[in-house]
Amino acid sequence: MLLILAIALLILWFLGFVAFHVTTAFIHFALVLALVLFVWHMIAGRRTAV
pLDDT in tens, 1-50: 788 888 888 888 888 778 777 667 777 787 888 889 888 888 887 666 56
Predicted pLDDT at 47: 66
> Whole-angstrom distance between the N-terminal and C-terminal Cα of the chain?
22
Residue 22 to residues 3, 4, 12, 13, 45: CA-CA distances in angstroms?
24, 23, 11, 9, 33
Per-position b or e across 31-43, b if 16+ CB within 10 A of its CB? beebeebbeebee
Q: Evaluate if pTM is beyond 0.85.
A: no
**Do 45 and 2 contact (CB within 8 A), yes or no?**
no
